[in-house]
């Protein structure tokens, strides 16, 4: 990555937590991590190596040992970043390290103990204190969102339906870069409100998991704060600067055991560290600077942190270590990871007047509500003056803001007074009407009704004004005005203390930088002193040279050991990957077996032809049976051949229907299903005839009707009374017709 003027590298600081009780009781081995706070160095001892083996040394922007205070880390390494965010830069702080090394402690800490409050609560204080102390011509809008990435799914922690909600999608825009679609964002007016937002999210995180520890060590939590600030520029127009701050508590970086798991569990295990290994690859690609392609798209986390790593942001990485000798390998990996991240170059710039600034929308809406409200109030005032009988002339352009405010207050008072006076007047008039004896009762009723209506209108008007005022006030209260709201800014002592702390932190930082530079220069100057005059000097010089060679030799040994370590690690991770691959291949073979033996080939082909891969969601999807673009035109319109019919019908069938031919061409009911409404014919049975043995039942023709044999009129015998519609011709009628024709 080319270094240009505005580029700056990712700041990397390392923090080591104290030994915990269990580790202390494990034995006298003590910690394996030593720190040189002045030089910013971490010295790592390999507990398994012989004492002669040189220790590993890494240099960082700052290091914090077991005795370090939360406040020290904040003032020295985080405060400058938050200041930049308040000035309109993007900023990211992420904590990286093995589970149990203090990532959450560093990011959140113990909220109730002022000494142990972590980066996030301190950042809240910092932001809102800054706002309260800034000049009064500045307006701020602060928003917060909270999300987690678990098993490669982005979940909104502020969504009340968190547990059941769908995973969110990532989108990209040229203005804001990568963002999460439909993510909840809460406007916060005070420290209390933003802390409340954080609590809600933390609870959702805890509820979402059966085992909080397990869950939190496997999910990444991102708390996002957007600070928009509007200030009048030299051109007289209000300019908006937007700073976005990402506070990231990553999942534990330790390797998850993948052996012996199958199916869903295997997929889960493969996904757990996907984001972290992708982060490692991104850091390597950026630090290396040679490979053109940076694999940001490989995971959700790297996409979300795209700007923070090699883009438009200032970034601080806090790598956390445990001092225990048990975790030597993980600690070394963390240090290597952090060491690589130091070389990443970012190009931060101030985000000035972005199109999507919410503050601008708020300002417009507030101005609109204010105009509406003013209009209403002026109207009431004018009416009042008409009532009072005086003229009123507005000349607002020449007034200053203070005068305008005063005038507004006066207008508001006048408007209230007007309503009161109007009500009294209407009451008086009503009373007068009631008492007027010359009016007819009907006329009285009408006039009273009219006054009542006027009174109602007046109240409605007043209610509408009140609602508008409430909306306006709610909207306005969301904007924070510099130097006005939130906190008293009279605490000068506090302010001075903070400035002093800031200065000290600044000084420590520059001292450390100088020390580091001197160390490098020492080695270089040694080479320059080559001239000597006497033998004594020659001996001295050669001894020095020898010392230097010895130093170099030690360094060489260190580097050799390092190379060996890196090789070992690569072999280990390759073996792990191979193992995962073998297990996945076995799973694949199993699925193939099922597909080949139990799914007919044509069905399989049909399915395969319909499948497409969606890279956004990282999933295979079925294409719709009808192409999306033709769906509306094809499915919604009725085919021309079906107009007036229930289903499409051919020309031939239409002619056949018109001719009343075979029932198969009928589009509507092919059976005549109307109820037989004719009354049943009944008659008394003549027993004597029935008793006659000579008379066979088959002989019973026309006279039988007269004799009253019960015979209900069947639909099959009466096709004649059919209505005009061709479709009403009954099936039976048709059937009889065809059979007669056949005879
Ligand atoms: P992680 O989030 O990395 O899994 P935690 O932040 O939960 O680890 O820390 C594990 C434990 O260690 C907690 O009990 C925490 O209080 C303690 N701890 C971590 N860092 C420190 C520190 N710098 N000082 C004191 N205690 C710490
Ligand atoms: Mg944690």
Q: Is residue 116 within 8 Å of 110, Cβ to Cβ?
A: yes
CA pair distance 300, 219, nearest whole angstrom = 12
CA-wise closest residue to 722 among 680, 652, 646, 671: 671
DSSP 8-state code for residue 536? H
Q: What is the pLDDT of residue 466?
A: 85
The predicted-structure confidence for 588-623, as pLDDT tens digits, reads as follows 999 999 999 999 999 999 888 999 988 777 788 888
The predicted-structure confidence for 509-566, as pLDDT tens digits, reads as follows 888 888 888 887 876 666 565 555 667 777 888 888 899 899 899 888 888 888 888 8
CA pair distance 286, 265, nearest whole angstrom = 32
Distances in whole angstroms, Cα of residue 42 to Cα of each of 34, 57, 319, 374, 513: 6, 6, 12, 65, 15
Q: What is the pLDDT of residue 730?
A: 38
Residue owning the nearest CA to atom 5 of ligand 1: 102
Given a cut of 90, whether residue 249 has pLDDT beyond it is yes
Query: What three-state secondary structure class fits 241?
Result: strand
The residue ranking higher by pLDDT, 364 or 674, is 364
Task: Name every residue whose Cβ is closer than 8 Å to that of residue 282 and which is 6 or more positions away in sequence.
Answer: 294, 295, 296, 298, 302, 305, 309, 310
Nearest ligand to the CA atom of 108: 1
- 113 φ, ψ (degrees, to nearest 5): -95, 115
Ligand 1 centroid to Cα of residue 310, in Å, is 29
Question: What would the mean pLDDT of 677-686 be, rounded to a whole number?
Answer: 69
Q: Find the range with the poorest average confidence among 116-130, 344-358, 695-709.
A: 695-709
CA pair distance 595, 598, nearest whole angstrom = 6
Ligand 1 centroid to Cα of residue 159, in Å, is 28
Q: Is residue 178 within 8 Å of 171, Cβ to Cβ?
A: yes
A 10 A CB-CB count for 247 gives 24
The annotation status of 708 as a binding-site residue, yes or no, is no
Question: What would the mean pLDDT of 200-204 be, rounded to a whole number?
Answer: 89
Q: What is the pLDDT of residue 397?
A: 43
Question: Of the ranges 90-94, 275-279, 340-344, which is most confident?
Answer: 90-94
Q: Is residue 275 within 8 Å of 302, Cβ to Cβ?
A: yes
The annotation status of 233 as a binding-site residue, yes or no, is no
Orientation angle between helical segments 263-272 and 274-288, nearest 10 degrees: 30
Ligand 1 centroid to Cα of residue 502, in Å, is 26
Mean pLDDT (the chain) is 78
Strands (E), 79-215: 91-97, 139-150, 153-156, 170-173, 177-180, 186-187
Question: What would the mean pLDDT of 102-108 be, rounded to a whole number?
Answer: 94
Which residues face 613 on adjacent strands? 620
CA-wise closest residue to 81 among 311, 348, 353: 348
CA pair distance 265, 256, nearest whole angstrom = 12
Ligand 2 centroid to Cα of residue 120, in Å, is 14
The annotation status of 494 as a binding-site residue, yes or no, is no
Q: What percent of the chain shows pLDDT beyond 70?
A: 75
Q: What is the pLDDT of residue 690?
A: 45
Q: What is the pLDDT of residue 696?
A: 43
What's the number of CA atoms in the CB half-sphere (13 Å) around residue 326? 14
Q: What percent of the chain shows pLDDT beyond 90?
A: 25
Question: What would the mean pLDDT of 324-341 be, rounded to a whole number?
Answer: 90
Ligand 2 centroid to Cα of residue 108, in Å, is 9
Given a cut of 50, whether residue 3 has pLDDT beyond it is no
Q: Is residue 539 within 8 Å of 109, Cβ to Cβ?
A: no
* Substitution candidate for ligand 1 out of 105, 211, 212, 213 with most atoms within 8 A of CB: 105
pLDDT-derived band at 116, boundaries 50, 70, 90: very high
Residue owning the nearest CA to atom 22 of ligand 1: 17
Which residues face 248 on adjacent strands? 94, 222
Q: What is the pLDDT of residue 632?
A: 55
Task: Name every residue whose Cβ is closer than 8 Å to that of residue 333 and which is 6 or more positions away in sequence.
Answer: 253, 569
Q: What is the pLDDT of residue 257?
A: 60
Q: What is the pLDDT of residue 726?
A: 38
Q: What is the pLDDT of residue 331?
A: 93
Angle at 47 between CA 41 and CA 49, to 5 degrees: 100
The annotation status of 98 as a binding-site residue, yes or no, is yes
pTM for the structure as a whole: 0.69
Please identify, by atom number, the ligand 1 atom nearest to the C-alpha of residue 107. 6
Q: Which two tokens stand for residue 107?
A: 């990011």
CA pair distance 154, 300, nearest whole angstrom = 8
Ligand 2 centroid to Cα of residue 256, in Å, is 16
Nearest ligand to the CA atom of 97: 1
The annotation status of 210 as a binding-site residue, yes or no, is no
Please identify, by atom number, the ligand 1 atom nearest to the C-alpha of residue 15. 23
* Substitution candidate for ligand 1 out of 17, 63, 66, 67 with most atoms within 8 A of CB: 17
Q: What is the pLDDT of residue 625?
A: 77
Orientation angle between helical segments 535-598 and 263-272, nearest 10 degrees: 150
Q: Which two tokens stand for residue 520?
A: 């490098």
Question: What would the mean pLDDT of 429-440 be, rounded to a whole number?
Answer: 77
Pocket (CB within 6 angstroms of ligand 1): 17-18, 97, 99-105, 217, 252, 320
Q: What is the pLDDT of residue 398?
A: 44
Question: What would the mean pLDDT of 203-208 be, rounded to a whole number?
Answer: 72
Distances in whole angstroms, Cα of residue 573 to Cα of each of 86, 532, 694: 42, 53, 109
The annotation status of 100 as a binding-site residue, yes or no, is yes
In which residue are the tokens 């569990």 written? 265
The predicted-structure confidence for 41-93, as pLDDT tens digits, reads as follows 999 988 888 877 778 889 999 999 999 999 999 999 999 999 999 999 999 99
Question: What would the mean pLDDT of 245-251 be, rounded to a whole number?
Answer: 93
Q: What is the pLDDT of residue 326?
A: 85
The annotation status of 99 as a binding-site residue, yes or no, is yes
């Amino acid at each position: 990555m080319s270094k240009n003027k505005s580029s700056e590298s990712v700041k990397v600081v390392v923090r080591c937590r104290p030994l915990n009780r269990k580790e202390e009781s494990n034995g006298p081995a003590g910690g394996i991590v030593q720190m040189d706070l002045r030089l910013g160095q971490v010295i790592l001892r390999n507990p398994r190596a012989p004492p002669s083996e040189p220790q590993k040394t890494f240099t960082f922007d700052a290091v914090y040992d077991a005795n370090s205070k939360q406040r020290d880390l904040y003032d020295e390494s985080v405060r400058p970043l938050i200041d930049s965010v308040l000035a309109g830069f993007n900023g990211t702080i992420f904590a990286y390290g093995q589970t149990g090394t203090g990532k959450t402690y560093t990011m959140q800490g113990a909220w109730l103990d002022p000494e142990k409050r972590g980066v996030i609560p301190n950042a809240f204080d910092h932001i809102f204190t800054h706002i309260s102390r800034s000049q009064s011509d500045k307006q701020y809008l602060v928003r917060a969102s909270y999300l987690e990435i678990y098993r490669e799914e982005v979940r909104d922690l502020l969504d009340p339906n968190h547990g059941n909600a769908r995973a969110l999608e990532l989108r990209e825009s040229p203005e804001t870069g990568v963002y999460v679609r439909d993510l909840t964002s809460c406007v916060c007016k005070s420290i209390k409100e933003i802390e409340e937002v954080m609590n809600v999210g933390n609870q959702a995180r805890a509820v979402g998991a059966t085992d909080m520890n397990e869950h939190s060590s496997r999910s990444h939590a991102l708390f996002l704060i957007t600070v928009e600030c509007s200030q009048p520029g030299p051109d007289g127009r209000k300019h908006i600067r937007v700073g976005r701050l990402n506070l990231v508590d990553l999942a534990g970086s330790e390797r998850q055991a993948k052996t012996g798991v199958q199916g869903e569990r295997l997929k889960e295990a493969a996904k757990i560290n996907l984001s972290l290994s992708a982060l490692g690859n991104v850091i390597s690609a950026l630090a290396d600077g040679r490979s053109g392609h940076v694999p940001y798209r490989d995971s959700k986390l790297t996409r979300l942190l795209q700007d923070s790593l090699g883009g438009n942001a200032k970034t601080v990485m806090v790598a956390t270590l445990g001092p225990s000798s048990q975790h030597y390998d993980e600690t070394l990996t963390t240090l290597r990871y952090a060491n690589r991240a130091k070389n990443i170059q970012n190009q931060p710039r101030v985000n000035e007047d972005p199109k999507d600034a919410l503050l601008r929308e708020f300002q417009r809406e507030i101005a609109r509500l204010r105009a509406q409200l003013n209009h209403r109030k002026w109207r009431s005032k004018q009416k009042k003056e008409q009532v009072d009988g005086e003229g009123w002339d507005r000349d607002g352009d020449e007034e200053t803001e203070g005068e305008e405010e005063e005038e507004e207050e006066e207008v508001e008072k006048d408007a209230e007074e007007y309503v009161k006076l109007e009500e009294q007047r209407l009451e008086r008039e009503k009373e007068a009407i009631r008492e007027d004896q010359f009016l007819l009762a009907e006329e009285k009723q009408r006039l009273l009704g009219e006054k009542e209506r006027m009174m109602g209108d007046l109240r409605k008007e007043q209610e509408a004004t009140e609602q508008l005022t409430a909306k306006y006030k709610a909207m306005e209260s969301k904007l924070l005005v510099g130097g006005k709201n939130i906190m008293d800014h009279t605490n000068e002592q506090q302010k001075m203390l903070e400035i002093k702390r800031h200065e000290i932190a600044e000084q420590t930082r520059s001292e450390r930088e100088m020390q580091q530079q001197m160390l490098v220069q020492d080695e270089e100057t040694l080479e320059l002193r080559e001239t000597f005059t006497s033998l004594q000097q020659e001996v001295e010089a050669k001894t020095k040279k020898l010392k230097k060679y010895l130093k170099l030799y030690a360094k060489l040994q260190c580097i050799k050991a390092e190379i060996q370590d890196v090789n070992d690690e690569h072999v280990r991770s390759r073996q792990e990957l191979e193992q995962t691959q073998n297990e996945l291949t076995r799973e694949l073979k199993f699925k193939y077996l099922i597909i080949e033996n139990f799914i007919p080939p044509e069905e399989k082909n049909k399915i395969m032809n319909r499948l497409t891969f969606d890279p956004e969601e990282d999933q295979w999807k079925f294409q719709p049976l009808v192409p999306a673009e033709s769906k509306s035109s094809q499915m919604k319109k009725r085919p021309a051949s079906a107009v007036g019919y229930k289903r499409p019908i051919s020309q031939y069938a239409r002619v056949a229907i018109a001719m009343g031919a075979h029932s198969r061409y009928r589009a509507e009911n092919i059976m005549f299903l109307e109820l037989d409404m004719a009354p049943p014919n009944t008659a008394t049975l003549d027993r004597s005839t029935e008793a006659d043995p000579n008379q066979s039942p088959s002989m019973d023709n026309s006279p039988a009707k007269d004799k009253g044999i019960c015979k209900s009129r069947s639909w099959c015998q009466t096709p004649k009374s059919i209505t005009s519609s061709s479709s009403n011709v009954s099936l039976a009628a048709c059937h009889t017709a065809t059979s007669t024709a056949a005879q």
